[in-house]
Structure formats: structure tokens, C-alpha cells
Structure 1
Amino acid sequence: MSERIAIDIALLLPEEINNKVMQINKALIKEFPPNIVFNEKNCFPHISLFMGVIEKEKLPEIDKVLASIIEKFQVLKLDVKEIDEGETLPDGYKTPSFKITRNAELQLLHERIMDLIRPLSSYDATADDCYNPSEIKDLTFEWINKYPKYAYKKFNPHITLGSGITNYNDFPIKFSVSRLVVSQLGNYCTCRKILIEKELR
């Protein structure tokens, strides 16, 4: 039986916005349970474009597919105008996020990835498919396995900030993204182990 991996295809953030998210995350951890703790090594703030489970042997094929997709895309210009309070975790705390204003290019990139990578994937994630299986909570499987229901017209681009309540209100935030990655998903669909990285030009 082939080894499987639960993956996220995501956009990583430029330094300035990444640092901002890290600062907010650190503030949340001081006041609320550390359900989501970002770092520079193996837990990266990101914007998810796709989630699913693949056989590890398909990574080279996915690499080639993504290379063909991004040939048609340049660096994406994005903006954030508000906080979304996010989903509720089992301990009752929300997962606040920067709500990304959905634009045509971002939507098209998401849809192209869904169209071409979804046939290579499944939606039956287990803890063993994820990074550090012992820490994976059941809600993680729900988010991965139901991802197609929240895709396409229901695509909700965002940057999770952590768990708890943040009073951050310095908007709008404008930034550009160019780093597209495939990562192994961790608890609460965090972006953990980078498997593939591409650059939008």
C-alpha cells in the first residue's frame, strides 16, 4: 500500500505580512490556549488554495501540474480589509483570520488547482496522513475531507491568525504573494512540512 500524505496547496506570505501574523499569533498565545502556534521552521502562516490526501508517489506529477498552472499567473496582489472570527474549536475558542478580498486572479488560480489536482487526491484523511499524527484533532479531518464543499464559488481565502480573540484593526493591508507551496497538513490544517515550492513570476 502506497504511503499517503494530507496536503495543502497554499500561498506563503511576504516577510512584512508574515511578521505581522506572527506578532498577532504570539499575542493570542499569551492570552488564549496555544491551539495554533506559528514558527519560521515548520508551521507557516499561509493562504490555502487546496486540501486533500494524495499518494506520496504522486508528488512528482503534482509538481509538473503546478508548474504548468503557474505559467499563466504572475505575482498576485491581495488585500485584507477585515477580521473573520473563523471556526469554533472543540475548546470553544474561535480561529480569527485575515479575510482576503477575493479577486479574479486568486479565484482562477484556486479553481485551476482544484480542477487538475483533485482527480489525483481523495477525501478520507486519517491521523497517519498528517504531520505529527499524535496531535491531530478530529476537526482537522472534517476540514480536510469536506474541503470540496467549500471550494469554487464558496472559496473563502484567508490567513488564520491563531485561536482566541484579536482586536487588530489596522486595515486595509495590501501585499503581493509569489510563493506557492505543497505542504503536509498538521493539526487544525496548519501548513507544516514543505514538500514542493514554486514561484509566481
Structure 2
Amino acid sequence: MALAIGVVLIPPDALRDFSISLNELAWKNGKGIRHLNMQENLPHISLALGSIDEKDLSAVQDLIGQAARSTGSILVSVDKFKYQREKKESSLCIQNSPELQRLHEFLVTGLKPLFIRPVQEMFLEPVSEHALSVVERYADDYAFENYWPHITLQCCEAEAERFPEKQRCKELAVFHLGSGCTCKKKLLSIALS
């Protein structure tokens, strides 16, 4: 069996709760796309996306363990909203830092040899051709100098007067992906100290 996976940073509580509250407000205003929640659509900061053979999950676990030992917790802050008109979707832009960029590059470099071509059956639910393409092309089109750390809010429009203060992400996780490259099922997790 093969899996479409996302290796992600779990945001600190304040940023996670802020993201969920913006999503809930968008739903109240008729602008929601997918519900963010703590069960099966967790707000997250993607570090790498791809599809792997399930037998390679232990290699992924080893890699995130190495990353956790060499990185430690990552300080993150939101610097702005971004609205993508073509996708009709808002995101919280996370200010990139040398530590975050290094972690991203370490993970993509280590995972890329394991990646295989994604197909629908690798996801936990049906996905669009765009989502398939993102997972397939992530290492080539969205990584390294093209890396854009963000939290997708799963809504059309979002606004707030203030963003949460800088805080540390203390968990690195691997999720089985669902529709829209959402984090549906946690497969692995490791604390960042």
C-alpha cells in the first residue's frame, strides 16, 4: 500500500486556535471551504508533501527523528494574510526563518528519494487533479527557493486586526493526506525541544 503524506509543523496552541476561529468565522459568513478542527483537518505548516510506499514509513520516522534532534523547537510568527484568487482561498503567511528553511530543506532532501507517483487511492478521500499535482510536483515546484511557509485557512476570506505573538512550534508530525492536502490522520509525531 502507498500513502500520500504531509510532513508538518503543528502550530503552537494560540496560532492553532486563531486559525480555527478564523475558519469558524468564515463559515458563519458563508465563506468556508473545509472546516478546520483538531480531529481530522488540523491547522499546520507544511514542510514536505509526497507519496511513499508504506514500507518506507520507518525511514520517514528515522528522518523526522534526526530532524528533531538537530533542530529543536521553531519560533514562528504570522506576518500577513494572503488571498489566492485562483483558488479562492486565504492563508496565514508564516515569516520564514533560517531555522525553518533549513528544516524544510533537510526533510525534502531526505524524503525525495522515497517519493513515488501519487494516485487517488493513496489519499484518505477523493482529491482534485490539482492536489494530485501538488503532491507529485512538491519537491520540484514548491520546495527550496520556492518554499512558502503558511497555514491554509480553508476559507475564501479572512481578516483580523492582530495576529498571535511569536511562539514556538514544538511538534513535528507526519499525516496521511485528504482532500485539498489536508492533514486527516496522524501517522507519526515527535516533540521538538
Q: Return closer, same or farther for 1:88/1:30 CA change in 2, 3 Å cut-off.
A: farther
Q: 1:64 offset after TM fit, Å?
A: 1.1
Q: Deviations over 1:99-146 (max 9, x none)?
A: 011100000000000111111112x2222110123xx22221122122
Instruction: Tell me, yes or no, if structure 1 residue 107 matches structure 2 residue 98.
Output: no
Deviation at 1:16, TM superposition (A): 1.4
Q: How many residues were matched structurally?
A: 192
Q: What do the CA deviations read for 1:133-169 (whole angstroms, capped 9, x no partner)?
A: 3xx2222112212212110011000011112111223
Taking the aligned partners of 1:87 and 1:7, their CA distance within structure 2 comes to 26
What secondary structure is seen at the aligned counterpart in 2 of 1:77?
strand
SS in 1 for 2:145: helix
For the pair 1:95 / 2:102, whether they are aligned, the reply is no
Q: Deviations over 1:2-36 (max 9, x none)?
A: x0000000001122111111110111122335422
Q: How do 1:33-182 and structure 2 match up within 5 A?
A: 34-86=32-84, 88-89=86-87, 94-122=88-116, 124-133=117-126, 136-148=127-139, 149-171=141-163, 173-182=165-174
Answering whether residue 187 of structure 2 is matched by residue 195 of structure 1, we say: yes
The amino acid that maps onto 2:189 is: E
Residues 138/31 of structure 1: CA separation in 2 closer, same or farther (3 Å cut): farther
DSSP-derived class of the 2:75 partner: strand
Q: Tell which deviates more after alignment, 4-13 or 34-43.
A: 34-43
- Displacement, 1:172? 6.3
- Alignment partners' CA distance in 2, 1:176 and 1:5: 29
Is the 8 Å Cα contact of residues 31 and 157 (structure 2) preserved in structure 1?
A: no
Q: Comparing 150-159 with 70-79, which one deviates more in the overlay?
A: 70-79
Write the letter of the residue equivalent to 2:130: L
Q: Name the aligned partner's letter for residue 104 of structure 1.
A: P
What SS class does the counterpart of residue 159 from structure 1 fall into? strand
Is 1:9–1:183's contact at 8 Å kept on the other side of the alignment?
yes
Residues 129/87 of structure 1: CA separation in 2 closer, same or farther (3 Å cut) = farther
The TM-score, its normalising length taken from structure 2, stands at 0.93
Contact 2:123 2:177 in 1 (8 A): yes
Q: Structure 1 CA distance, aligned partners of 2:8 and 2:92?
A: 15
Pairing 1:24-35 to 2, within 5 Å after superposition: 24-32=22-30, 34-35=32-33
Q: Deviations over 1:22-54 (max 9, x none)?
A: 110111122335422112111100000000000
CA contact (8 A) 2:74 2:170 kept: yes
Report how far residue 87 of structure 1 moved.
6.0
Instruction: State the identity as a percent.
Output: 26
Task: Give TM-score scaled by structure 1 length.
Answer: 0.90
- Contact (CA 8 Å) 1:13, 1:177: kept in 2 or not? yes
**Any gaps of 5 or more consecutive residues in structure 1?**
none
